[in-house]
Each structure stands twice: as structure tokens, then as C-alpha cells.
Amino acid sequence: MNLENISPVDGRYQKDTEELSKFFSESALIRYRVMLEIEYLIALGKEKKFLQVKNFSNEDKKTLRNIYQTFSIDDAEQVKTIEDVTKHDVKAIEYYLQTKFVELCFEEFIPFIHFALTSEDINNLAYVLSFKHALKKIYLPQIKKVIEILQTQAMRYKSLVILAMTHGQPATPTTLGKELFVYINRLERQIKKIESHIFDGKLNGAVGNFAAHHFSSPEVDWLQFSTRFVCFLDLQPMLLSTQVNSYDSLVESFMIINHINIILSDLAKDMWLYISRGIFGQVVQEAEVGSSTMPHKINPINFENAEGNASVSNSLFTCLIDKLPQSRMQRDLSGSTMIRNQGVALAHALLVVKNIHKGLNKVVPNIPKIKNELTENFVVVTEALQTILRKNGNKDAYEKIKNLSRGKNLTRKDFLEFVENLDLPMEDKMKLKMLTPENYVGVF
């Protein structure tokens, strides 16, 4: 951990977020740009009607690709040194590659580095690819781990009846397993969206018209070329655009993560409340300290951390969602300034997921407390009583049971005495006499 870092993502939480560095660091962005410039040149060589660049041999392709496959922090620093002079990040990549091509005896291809491209052709692909790769390789496996532990606990506690709360008041009992399955279902819905999400990429020149491409080499079908190249990157071609990618598909992926953050924040708050109620106890970590002054404290820090990071992440994503699809006329630089923060937003989302996972691993149901809550709130079964009365044609069933129970501490004895005096079929009467909060849980 670098104690002089300003951002907690790279400071306090570095151990949980450093795996994102290879996708969103400045060095990673430069490497993506280098990769795209190299692959673009190789694609030019494959274009049969573009005679100025030969189709590279397998050995030459291997040599060219080795430039980005072995790209190091020293290489990134060389690019930054050039950028200090050019004051232009993508042009610095071009100049860096020129020096590499001289070293590798590829001087004849120097004119075709970044041929007819605008910076946004490289940048939009780099930003979209980095987010897509980080989402699929880092974030998605972590959210699946959360679902796995939720599934394990949901199955383990599928028959554990707990007192439900609506409006913060005792309500019809439920099972702990069912309540966890609710979150599993919600998260799986969003995961399907991530897995099927299609990301767009554009490569069409200065203002999106292939002007330089077409003017210099009209014999080439540049729309087809662009389509093949973007598809090669496993992105969907955006052939119709201004100079910039509208980033509609990218921000749609942000919306999915934003929604997952909301779901996980909801889960974190519920777990916090279950712990506060005593429904869950927390596993004691001997070396941990809960309070600087109160030795007894075991705080639900992971759920609180998750909730806080969800807010930070969603604030950043919301800002990006609002701004990135907007660009004055054919382009301005405000979006380019902001998109660099997509990794920060995802880093905070990753912290949400990891803290939920840690928190779930630290809790165990407090069975005595759970049973005691049910016993003390026998009144919750009156819903069943008034429903049975309705089934038997009683027109004022609700009002009768309301008078019996609302705002009162109804005991099982009170309940049984009331049932005994009802004019009901024996079968229904017996069902009611056997009724308890523990067995009033419906089909789940």
C-alpha cells in the first residue's frame, strides 16, 4: 500500500482492487492503445485492395504482437516521456511505435501507423475493451462468488422460520432461506444481462465518415474493413457516428452495475438490521477491535463498507451515464476527461461485492433469539384466522380479528380461547388450534 495515494481505491483498499490495475491504470490504457495500433496495421496488411501494406507473415505478426504482449512499465514510461513533449497521448503512442519499428527493422511501415485514424478511433476501443475485459474477468467471477455463498446459506436455512417485518413491525413469518433466495433471484437476473451485453466500438475516422480512408484509397471497402476489425475485437461495429463513440452500449453496462450496487446495498442494509435485531450473530475475530473505547463491540463493518462503496460507485456511474452519451457537435473533450474514471467506479463496485462476501462469511443465525421473537409475537397468525373466517362466509371477519388483536399482546392462550368459541367446521377449527408462527410460512 502506498500511504501517499490520494484515492482510497489505490491506498486503503489497494489489496482488494489492485487486480483492476491491468485494465484501468495509465499503463494499462497505453498498452491497450498500443495493441490496437498494432492490430490495425496487421488488419491493413490483410486487406487485399490496400496494396501499400503487405500481408505480414506469421513470424512478422508474432514480432509485432510481441510489442504489446511484453509491454512493461518501462515502455509505458517511455510513452509518457514522449507525451510530455507532444502534449497528446495517442500521438505519443505513434511516436513510440516509430522507434520500436526502427529497432525491429520495420521502418517501411512507419507511415501506416495510425493511418487515416483519429485518436477517438483508438481511444473508444481501448476504453470499451478495458471495461468489458475487467467486467468479465474480475467483477463477474466475484459477484458469482456472492451468489454461491447466498445459495449455500439459502439451502441451509430454507426451513428456518423467522419473524418477518413490514414497516418495521412484526408480520407474517417467513423463512430465512426464502429471503436469501429473493436476493439470489435478483442478482442472477442482472448477471444474465452482463453475460449477454453487447459492447459497441467505432473505427471510422475524424468525424465518422471514413473521409481520409476513402480519399486516399477509394478502392477499399472501408465499411467492410471497419466491420471486420471491430468484430475481430469481439465488439459490435458502430458504423454510424460522429467523431466519438456515443458510448450508449457502454453506459448501458454501467446501468447494470449500478442496479447490482442497489441490490447489494439493499442486502447489506437487511443484514445490518438482522444483526441489530439479533437474528444473526457475528463470528468473533479475536484480533479485531470493534471500538476504540467499548471492548464488547462487534460491528457489522463489511455490510456498512459495502453500503458506503455502493453509494460512491453509483455516484460515479450516474455521472458517467449522464455525460458520456453527450458530445457537442462532432466532438468535445469533456467526455474524454470523465471516462478515465470508469475504472474507479468499477473498483468501488468491486469493493461492494467483496465486502458482502466477507460479511456473509461472518454471520450465523441466533436460533434462541429467532424462536423467542416468534413466541413473543403470536399475534402474527391472526392473518390466518381472519382468512379462514372469510372462507367460511363471515362478512366482518377482518373487523372481528382487528378488535381482538390490533395493538394488543395476544398470547396463544387468548387465541385458542377465541377459536374455541367460533362457529366453524371442525376441520378448520383443528387447523387453527394447531397453528403457530413456526408453521405459518406458506409454500416457501
Residue 242: per-residue pLDDT: 87
Instruction: Residue 100: name the closest of 90, 113, 89 by CA.
Output: 113
Distance in angstroms (rounded) separating the CA atoms of residues 112 and 108: 9
Q: What CATH fold (topology level) applies to the domain 134-157+167-285+303-367?
A: Fumarase C; Chain A, domain 2 (1.20.200)
Q: Where are the alpha helices (DSSP H) in 25-139?
A: 26-46, 58-69, 73-86, 89-103, 119-134
Query: Measured between alpha carbons, how far is residue 128 from residues 24, 29, 253, 306 in Å?
Result: 11, 11, 10, 26
Q: What is the CATH topology of the domain spanning 14-115?
A: Fumarase C; Chain B, domain 1 (1.10.275)
What is the percent of the chain where pLDDT is above 70? 97
Nearest to 204 by CA among 240, 235, 169, 234: 240
- How confident is the model over 104-118, as a mean pLDDT? 96
Q: Which one is predicted more confidently, 243 or 221?
A: 221
Level-2 CATH architecture, domain 377-439: Orthogonal Bundle (1.10)
Region 187-194: what's the mean pLDDT? 97
The pLDDT > 90 percentage for the chain reads: 83
**Residue 236, H or E segment:** strand 236-237
pTM of the model as a whole: 0.93
Q: Which of 57, 159, 216, 291 is catalytic?
A: 291
Grid coordinates given for 264? 447489494
Which residues neighbour 321 within 8 Å (Cβ) at sequence distance 6 or greater? 251, 254, 255, 258
pLDDT 10s digits, 343-361: 999 999 999 999 999 999 9
* 114 is an active site residue: no
- Marked catalytic residue, from 167, 196, 292, 296: 167
How many Cα atoms sit within 13 Å of 53 on the Cβ side?
Answer: 24
Is 291 an annotated catalytic residue? yes
Q: How many CB atoms lie within 10 A of CB 139?
A: 21
Q: pLDDT band for position 287 (50/70/90)?
A: low
As given in the structure block, the three cell numbers for residue 249 are: 452500449
Would you kindly state where each structural domain of the chain is located, as residue ranges? 14-115, 134-157+167-285+303-367, 377-439
State the pLDDT confidence band at 332, using cuts at 50, 70 and 90.
confident
Q: What residue has cell string 470493534?
A: 290
pLDDT classification of 189: cutoffs 50, 70, 90: very high
